[in-house]
Amino acid sequence: MVNPSQYRGAIASMNPTELQMLYAAGERDFHHADLKSAELSGINLQDAHLSRANLRHANLRWANLGKADLSWADLRGADLSWANLDGANLTCAHLKGTKMPDGTIHD
């Protein structure tokens, strides 16, 4: 069983299964999480705090990131095709080469 309290605050490397289990247990604070190249297609991370997270080259197709805090997150090369970003905070997020929900590639 995953103990959410052991992950409070800055999170180092995390695998997608741990992330899903923690989210299901009510955890929402994943700032600084290292999820580089993670397979997160279809994941629900609504209202998650992912500021400064490393999501570089992550597959976030069909992900629910509504109202998520992605400020300063590294999303370079990530695939956000068909992802829900309604109300998400992307302030200062690194988006170069990111495939956006509408299919465009961010410059």
pLDDT in single tens digits along all 107 residues of the chain: 455 445 554 456 889 999 999 999 999 999 999 999 999 999 999 999 999 999 999 999 999 999 999 999 999 999 999 999 999 999 999 999 999 999 999 98
Which pLDDT score, from 0 to 100, does residue 107 have? Answer: 87
H helices then E strands: how many in the chain?
A: 1, 0
Distance of CA 105 to the CA centre of its chain: 18
Which pLDDT score, from 0 to 100, does residue 13 have? Answer: 80
Which pLDDT score, from 0 to 100, does residue 1 have? Answer: 47
Q: Identify the CA nearest to 60 among candidates 79, 77, 46, 75.
A: 79
**CB 67 within 8 Å of CB 86:** yes
